[in-house]
Structure 1
């Protein structure tokens, strides 16, 4: 009676499997460390993405944080636009008032120099208000442009963070898959060794039986 032949398995040796498993886990630990460093870096930026925890929730929280910041900036921009529109309306009103005073001055016949000086001072006062309104419009526009620039930078920053997150997540998934593959190879190797042990045991018993015969 002959022992069954050992199965032909195309697998690594035990030492090679263990070495690959150690390497894969070391790489995974390195990427987890890199992810932690990335989260800490984000927390220290000018517009920190708060409450970022584990990598499973990091992207969702970062999106939520950027959306809140975007809404705040857009709200400021809208208020500035309202101020700008109000300043422009005030500017037009002041110009109409100046035009009215000029037409009124043209039809009045006042002989005293004092009355003429008073009319000139009144016109100068209106032009001062006109200039102030125009200056307010310019300041509001400059502030609006600064807010838009800040919004663009925030969006670009989030885009870079999202890209880095996806890269790390993909590599981590790849490493996890490799680790699972190596662990499965370990299990197959253990099965192979157990089968080999049983075959050797049967062979030894057969040899003893033959010797007794």
Structure 2
């Protein structure tokens, strides 16, 4: 089941990814089935969280089918990250109105991150927590700084998901500096410290889109 908001999110995100990455969307308000081994980690979750989780897994399986891969279970690991079937990697994100999932074969894509947020301004007090000084300096020179701060947050989430597959490291908001380029609708994500196998100063490059009240960020690195 795909509602209007989910369809809009899919259309917004699709141009950001090449054909090696499969993308699918679902409506978190609709009925979706999750496998028992997936739901095992959510026995104490709210019904809303369970619906969002099931919708995200449903989107992931739709994207796996797009790749020609079997629509297998995607359980939650002890680190709460999705455990993808062998040979595959992916990323799942959701808002209250849409779920998106992107998947790829490991032989084609090395890192993959996807994030989606409502395009609303970030509260000023949160900027001190989420944005490092260089990012706040950049924001101070922008119109609609609160909206750009939300984009920086989304790009950090996106980069975190992408790097985690290789580092397995839990890192804070200060570990990666985001530099958006409004003209090319891209961003640079630069490590501020060594996070093996990534070194301080190493930069990953992603893309973003805004529309329909959403911010979507993606980061895909070829194998």
Q: TM-score, normalised by structure 1?
A: 0.21
Structure scoring higher RCO (CA < 8 A, sep ≥ 6) equals: 1
More helix by share: 1
More strand by share: 2
Q: TM-score, normalised by structure 2?
A: 0.20
